[in-house]
Amino acid sequence: MEERIIVGNMKVDMLKEDALHYVETFKGEYNNVVLCPSSIYLNYFMDTKVKLGLQNIFYDGTICTGEITSRQAVSMGIKYVIIGHSERRYYLDESNETINKKVKDAVEHNLGVLLCVGESEEEKENGRADEVIKRQVYTALRGIENIRNVAIAYEPVWAIGTNKLPTNDEIKDKVLLIKKVCKDLLGYENARVIYGGSVNVENVEELNKIEEISGFLIGGASTEPETFEKIIQIINNRQN
């Protein structure tokens, strides 16, 4: 059975004392877990027994004050990066074309990419969800020769931090759509798709029944170490 990747997107929820408490409390050793704290706290997490990821990356060869490049990330032992999160698309106007440049650069530097795609509530209500997801996936991955290190995170925007959830069947349909786009339009077989959006300790067991997914991208629930370890154990128990 495929080992499911479990990613904690810790966003900007922690202060220094929270980060220090987290690393003192989180004691598990997990090969399939990635923690993505704010970059200024990454050094605190270096001794945790999980992989570490960034919440964003900038494409190399361009001088841009305040950004972090793939080369810098690799030099620090970072293994993964989240690219294209809906919050960056919305607040920072990140386009699909910009996201494509970031994915290309990260792949070239052998970083594992967690590419976020998903429809807004308005797009869902207007029947445009599939169209939006197809465009996001195709544009972000166009021209990339090898997506072996890419996992696509289906995160319906309307589900992020809202406690609203698609049904398992709805998630399955979108996962299969993403896999079909990768195969038919990009020529990529066996694309890995993970789910994100209001995943918590109460609903993860039910979500974990979806056979078509390859893991989870978890936001708010990943910022509490005890809660996150409970979620990890529920997911991994499926694999034992």
Residues tagged active-site: 85, 155
Q: Which 8-state DSSP code applies to residue 221?
A: G
Treating both helix axes as pointing N-terminal to C-terminal, what angle do 225-237 and 16-25 enclose, rounded to 10 degrees? Answer: 40
Q: How far apart are CA 144 and CA 186, in angstroms?
A: 9
- Helix or strand or coil: residue 183? helix
Q: CB neighbours of 132 closer than 8 A, spacing ≥ 6?
A: 119, 120, 123
Rounded Cα–Cα distance for residues 59 and 218 (Å): 25
Which run of H or of E encompasses 192?
A: strand 192-196
Token couple for 15? 């202060």
Closest CA to 41 of 18, 64, 25: 18
